Amino acid sequence: MKSLSEIETISKRASRAVGFSWGISEEVGRNMKLLELFSLKGIKHLNEYFKQRSNEKFENLNLISENNKSSKLPYCPIILGVSFLDQIKTLEKFNKIKFYNIAFPLLFLPFLSRSSEIIGKKINFKFDDKEFVLNHNVNILSNLPMDDCPITAQNSEIIFIANEDNFTNQEWKNLYKLSENTFVDETDSLKKGAAGAGLTDND
């Protein structure tokens, strides 16, 4: 079994070999390590993307807006991901961002996952009937088998999920009330043993 370090290094070098800069190649290496760590087929999709890239062209999206529609060419998932990561502080102000025609969306996922960690919010990524939730770069949840991610996302949207408690206020009060049973009443002996007790000021 290949180590995560090997996966990162070889993916980075392969990305450089197909024409990406070293900086972008390093991002790809980190992403492949992340995808494989989450048992997603990053290496498989990266290989397929590189093969297709040698014969076909992809559109680079450098400035992202609320609605992004490519020309006849699908968006390059790597350049799109780098742009998204670079602009995340601005993009999080949008409630929803739409994209049309992203190639190999699985390669775009780790950029979203890392963005989720930066802004401290979950990110929901939907395309067609597929859905992913990126959870602060801790895990990636999906409604489809991990080996069944398509190579094109025709109509997709990204939604930033507001941070909210997953429980009611009453549920919290009930739990807090129960926790109060562990509180210790302050006694004279505790007061005497508290920090600073018994010290004499000699000044």
User: Please, which residues have CB within 8 angstroms of residue 139's CB and are 6 or more apart in sequence?
Assistant: 38
For residue 195, the 8-state DSSP code is T
Helix, coil or strand: residue 179: helix
Tens-digit pLDDT profile for the chain (203 aa)?
899 999 999 999 999 999 999 999 999 999 999 999 998 999 999 999 999 999 999 999 999 999 999 888 999 999 999 999 999 999 999 989 999 999 999 999 999 999 999 999 999 999 988 899 999 999 888 887 656 788 999 999 999 998 888 899 999 999 999 999 988 766 666 556 655 555 555 55
Domain ranges of the chain: 4-161
Whether the CB-CB separation of 64 and 83 falls below 8 Å is answered with yes
Residue 96 has a pLDDT of: 95
Please state, as a whole number, how many other Cβ atoms lie within 10 Å of the Cβ of residue 123: 24
